[in-house]
């Protein structure tokens, strides 16, 4: 395995073309990218974030806004949308087509085609690239609900352990079956025991995968330049289990959790949900230098902490997945002072991957010079150049 400091370990993945049909405020759009930095500049509401959202659909899940597919379809009578991209990994180029066709009375699900093959799960996109984003929607991450931090954590785990998404989905389904049996008062011991055994096995795999990721992140943060303007974050992971001691063998942790699930059926039936498990995990973040919870830091400090975390995540993704991630940074430049902005550009350049950024003020990106492709966005249309 490559070390986290070894950024050359990742194969470069990049998007060389993007075509949209009836996606958000775009009727039809055809863009080519030929630089490592791509900046989408334009006024408020022009469609800059929509482009990053389209790019985020080149990774598993519902994209960086977690919007419904109906919301992504162009509000002009469209009942379908598609996003097509040419993705290059190392020397191999593949086309990816993803989209949704609306159907009466049925929530649309998205199809993904890689080359000529319609794939079973969007998780297969992880064979082609890793995509890491930072958006204004993540501003409340340290103070908001634990579910947001769990999702943030699980996306990071997924980037180095693609099986994590399936495990988490299977756990969620098993837990819902248990909750339903308990709330229907169907105390079928054989059935419940079978479900709880499955839950315990999946839970322990999830817990260890999350723990490993946090360990890697901590090491990457510790290695970050002391002079960096992005403060170091301290991480504390609550696994959602009664004990956070993972020193015992995995089978023992699994057995104990399974026993507690069986013992606590009545309690959970009253609560109407399973009260213990990895679905209740939380990641606490502290501002290390100030020895203070990140949630008490100023808005600017929280943003800087987040940037530090994302850079650490990108570094470990590159070293451990073997792919240099594509970064999507929405409205970051405007929120950083000139010094931090220059440092961000340097850190991103050092990562070596392709980076897409947005901003209303193109001049904030002048320091990138020839390294950046400037794309001007106006009202659902785009053209390369200022
Ligand atoms: N499904 C849709 N169909 C048509 N237009 C849409 C749809 N969803 C969003 N929009 C429009 O897209 C525009 C917002 O685009 P986007 O969020 O990309 O803006 P932006 O350029 O990032 O702006 P800002 O600088 O304010 O963040 C809005 O005008 C919104 O009305």
278 falls within a domain: no
- Alpha-carbon distance 159 to 205, whole Å? 16
Q: Is the CB of 49 under 6 A from ligand 1?
A: yes
Inside any domain, residue 86 = yes
Contacts with 224 (C-beta within 8 Å, 6 or more apart), sequence order: 230, 232, 308, 311, 312
CA 368 to chain centre: 26
Does the beta carbon of 44 lie inside 6 Å of ligand 1? Answer: yes
Which residues, given as ranges, of the chain have pLDDT below 70?
1-9, 104-107
The pick from 22, 23, 47 for probing ligand 1's pocket by mutation, whose C-beta has the most ligand atoms within 8 angstroms, reads: 47
Q: Please check whether residue 309 lies inside any domain of the structure.
A: no
**Domain annotation covers residue 314:** no
Residue 209 belongs to some domain of the structure = no
The answer to whether the annotation marks 45 as part of a ligand binding site is yes
Please tell me whether the interface predicted TM-score (ipTM) of this complex is above 0.95: yes
Q: What is the pLDDT of residue 3?
A: 60
Cα–Cα distance, 321 to 208 (Å, whole number): 17
Which is the closest atom of ligand 1 to the Cα of 43? 25
- 48 marked ligand binding residue: yes
For the CA of 377, the closest atom of ligand 1 is 21
| Residue 188 covered by a domain | no
**Residue 62: inside a domain:** yes
Q: What is the DSSP letter of 334?
A: G
Q: Give the distance (Å) from ligand 1 centre to CA of residue 48.
A: 8
Region of 274 please: left (phi>0), alpha (psi -120 to 50) or beta: beta
Contacts of 157 (CB under 8 A, 6+ apart): 164, 209, 210, 213
Output b/e per residue, 310-349; b: 16+ Cβ within 10 A.
bbbbbbbbbbbbbbbbbbbbbbbbebbeeebbebbbebbe
CA of 374 to the centre of ligand 1 (A): 19
156 C-alpha to ligand 1 centroid (Å) = 27
Is 165 part of any known ligand binding site? no
Q: What is the CATH number of the domain that holds 364?
A: 3.40.50.300
The two beta strands, 37-41 and 372-378, are parallel
Query: 28, 46, 74, 102: which to mutate for ligand 1, most atoms within 8 A of CB?
Result: 46
The rounded Å distance from CA 359 to ligand 1 centre is: 14
Q: Is 46 annotated as a binding residue?
A: yes
Whether 362 maps to a domain, the answer reads: yes
Range of the domain at 103: 1-137+326-386
List CB contacts of 358: < 8 A, sequence separation 6 or more: 39, 40, 41, 48, 49, 51, 52, 329, 330, 331
pLDDT at residue 245, as a whole number? 82
Give residue 301 CA to ligand 1 midpoint distance, Å: 28
User: Is 293 annotated among the ligand-binding residues?
Assistant: no
How many domains does the structure of the chain reveal?
Answer: 1
pLDDT of residue 9: 63
Instruction: Answer yes or no: is 384 a known binding residue.
Output: no
Is 48 touching ligand 1 by the criterion CB < 6 Å?
yes
CA 342 / ligand 1 centre spacing (Å): 28
Spacing, Cα 51 to ligand 1 middle (Å) = 10
């Amino acid at each position: 395995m490559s070390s986290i400091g070894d950024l050359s370990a990742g194969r470069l993945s990049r998007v060389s073309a993007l075509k949209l049909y009836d996606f958000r405020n775009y009727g039809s759009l055809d863009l080519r990218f030929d630089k490592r930095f791509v900046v989408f500049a334009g006024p408020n509401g022009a469609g800059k974030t929509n482009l990053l959202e389209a790019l985020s659909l080149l990774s598993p899940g519902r994209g960086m806004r977690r919007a419904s597919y109906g919301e992504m379809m162009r509000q002009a009578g469209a009942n379908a949308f598609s996003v097509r991209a040419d993705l290059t990994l190392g020397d191999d180029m593949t086309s990816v087509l993803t989209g949704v066709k609306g159907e009466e009375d049925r929530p649309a699900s998205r199809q993904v085609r890689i080359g000529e093959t319609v794939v079973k799960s969007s998780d297969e996109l992880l064979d082609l690239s890793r995509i890491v984003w930072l958006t204004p929607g993540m501003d409340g991450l340290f103070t908001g609900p634990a579910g947001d931090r769990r999702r943030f954590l699980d996306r990071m785990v997924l980037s180095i352990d693609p099986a994590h998404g399936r495990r988490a989905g299977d756990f969620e389904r098993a837990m819902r079956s248990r909750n339903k049996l308990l709330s229907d008062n169907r105390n079928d011991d054989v059935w419940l025991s079978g479900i709880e055994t499955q839950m315990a096995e999946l839970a322990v795999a999830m817990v260890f995968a999350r723990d490993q990721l946090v360990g890697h992140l901590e090491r990457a943060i510790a290695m970050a330049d002391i002079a960096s303007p992005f403060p170091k974050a301290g991480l504390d992971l609550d696994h959602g289990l009664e004990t956070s001691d993972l020193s015992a063998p995995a089978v023992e942790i699994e057995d104990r959790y399974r026993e507690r699930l069986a013992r606590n059926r009545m309690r959970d039936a009253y609560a109407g949900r399973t009260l213990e498990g990895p679905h209740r995990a939380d990641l606490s973040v502290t501002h290390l230098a100030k020895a203070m919870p990140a949630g008490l830091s100023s808005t600017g400090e929280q943003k800087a902490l987040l940037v530090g975390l994302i850079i650490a995540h990108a570094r470990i993704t590159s070293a451990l997945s073997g792919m240099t991630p594509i970064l999507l940074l929405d409205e970051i430049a405007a929120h950083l002072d000139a010094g931090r902005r220059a440092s961000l550009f340097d850190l991103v350049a050092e990562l070596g991957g392709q980076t897409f950024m947005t901003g209303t003020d193109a001049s904030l990106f002048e320091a990138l010079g020839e390294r950046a492709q400037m794309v001007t966005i106006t009202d659902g249309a785009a053209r390369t150049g200022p």
